[in-house]
Copies of this chain bind each other. A is one copy, B any other.
């Protein structure tokens, strides 16, 4: 359960008065998500999600909130931030930056089919195109510098075999340094639990907590690694084709992006493997949530490094 900051009904009732959303009817903590505290909040005016931003640096909040406001206006099914009566997109609640966003219908799909993959490829490409008009800028705080620092921090907890795998990947990623790939606003974490489906359609893209400006094809690689991977870590070619073909139909990938594809997949695994290693070996004090198992990502890391993946010839 990932409620780090308890908000009482009374505290929320008081706070909600600054919004034109009616009276509080019901509130309920949300277990999913490991970065923030979230509550479902029902009011006489509608259904919302209240988020208390636990880990996100406050200076990054404007980027995040303006991005999802922009994307929602562009028709991407993502949470739209609710401005308070003064126009502010966030305030402070129980000492934490906090704000409301619209609550979206639907539920996530843990075992996606090819059709789900097609739908996700489509929505990600639309998100990237919509993001082109967004002028905000935020460097990816899970970028190359973070990668180096985190690798240094977790190194002493690794076996010789894990260390070898990590070192190969860190060196391999240097091959990407010279590639000038198209950049723009990325979601950065479009795993299965961050996409809601209503029937066969995507009804919600949620949890933009790792959004940033970075390489668009890297975002696609993050997505493919989670949506199209078998239990043993190998890619499901049929799902990869479905997702990438749908994406490519809306935002055709450049030759450079296709060339860089195998390394982008590995960069994407490495980023999550490192953060899981960090969360397991160096948990924050008072951590309430169970850290996710890094072994799953290690398995994918080995599979991607060994598989000889090239960009699928669609």
A307 engages B172 (CB within 8 Å): yes
Q: Is A278 an interface residue (CB 8 A)?
A: no
The interface residues of chain A, by DSSP majority, are classed as helix
Q: Which of A29-37, A173-181, A219-227, A282-290 contacts B (4 or more CB under 8 A)?
A: A173-181
Contact partners of A168 in chain B: CB under 8 A: 306-308
B266 engages A259 (CB within 8 Å): no
Contact partners of A305 in chain B: CB under 8 A: 305-306, 308
For chain A residues 162-211, which have a beta carbon within 8 Å of chain B?
168-169, 171-173, 175-176, 178-180
Annotate A42-57 by CB proximity to B: 1 below 8 A, 0 otherwise.
Answer: 0000000000000000
Contact of A255 among B176, B179, B259, B312 (CB under 8 A): B259
Contact partners of A313 in chain B: CB under 8 A: 178-180, 256, 259
Q: Which residue of B lies closest to A181 (CB)?
A: B313
Contact partners of A312 in chain B: CB under 8 A: 178
B307 engages A263 (CB within 8 Å): no
Looking at the assembled complex, report how far the CB atom of A205 sits from the nearest CB atom of chain B, in whole angstroms. 28
Q: Is A260 an interface residue (CB 8 A)?
A: yes
Contact partners of A114 in chain B: CB under 8 A: none
Annotate A228-266 by CB proximity to B: 1 below 8 A, 0 otherwise.
Answer: 000000000000000000000000000110111111001
Contact partners of A180 in chain B: CB under 8 A: 313
Q: Is A4 an interface residue (CB 8 A)?
A: no
Interface size of A in residues (CB-CB distance below 8 Å): 28
Q: How far is the CA of A210 from the CA of B199 in the complex (A)?
A: 57
Given A179-B313, A313-B179: A308 touches B169 (CB 8 Å cut-off): yes
Contact partners of A309 in chain B: CB under 8 A: 175
B308 engages A172 (CB within 8 Å): yes
Q: How far is the CA of A255 from the CA of B310 in the complex (A)?
A: 12
Contact partners of A272 in chain B: CB under 8 A: none
Q: Which residue of B lies closest to A261 (CB)?
A: B259
Contact partners of A258 in chain B: CB under 8 A: 255, 258-259
Q: How far is the CA of A256 from the CA of B171 in the complex (A)?
A: 25
Q: Which residue of B lies closest to A305 (CB)?
A: B306
B266 engages A175 (CB within 8 Å): no
Contact partners of A260 in chain B: CB under 8 A: 310
Q: How far is the CA of A308 from the CA of B178 in the complex (A)?
A: 14
Q: How far is the CA of A173 from the CA of B310 in the complex (A)?
A: 10
Q: Is A63 an interface residue (CB 8 A)?
A: no
A310 engages B262 (CB within 8 Å): yes
Q: How far is the CA of A178 from the CA of B176 in the complex (A)?
A: 25
Q: Is A40 an interface residue (CB 8 A)?
A: no
Interface pairs (17), CB distance under 8 Å: A172-B306, A173-B308, A175-B307, A175-B309, A176-B310, A179-B313, A255-B255, A255-B259, A256-B313, A258-B259, A259-B261, A260-B310, A262-B262, A262-B310, A263-B308, A263-B310, A305-B305
Q: 4 more A-B contacts (CB under 8 A) besides A175-B310, A258-B258, A305-B306?
A: A168-B308, A172-B307, A259-B261, A305-B305
